[in-house]
Amino acid sequence: MFFMVVLTGLEKFETIQAVFGGAYLLCGSLIREVAEKSRHQLALSGKLMGLCAYGNIVEEYVPAFEKFFLIRTTRDLQKKLVCP
């Protein structure tokens, strides 16, 4: 469930059935600035989420990232990436 801040408080705007942590962890592990000084693997997701607020959107990458991040379960993510 996602909320946005409006003048009267919080307003629900969308529900997305997905597991974002696994996708963020995998992407974060491939980025040197995120992974290099991380003490624990679980920190990678949060660091990458924090970096998402910076920079600009590259429109041509959006479809691929939507497809990758909207995978519903970690098992589906493993199948998509052909992991053992």
User: Which pLDDT tens digit goes with each residue over 24-78?
Assistant: 888 888 888 888 888 888 888 888 888 888 888 899 988 888 877 777 666 776 6
- Rounded to the nearest angstrom, the gap between the alpha carbon of residue 1 and the centroid of all alpha carbons in its chain is 15
Could you say which DSSP state residue 70 is in? T
Q: How far apart are CA 52 and CA 62, in angstroms?
A: 13
Rounded to two decimals, the pTM is: 0.59
- What are the angstrom distances between the C-alpha of 34 and each of 18, 25, 42, 45, 48? 23, 10, 11, 9, 7
Higher pLDDT: 23 or 15? It is 23
- What pLDDT is stored for residue 83 in this prediction? 57
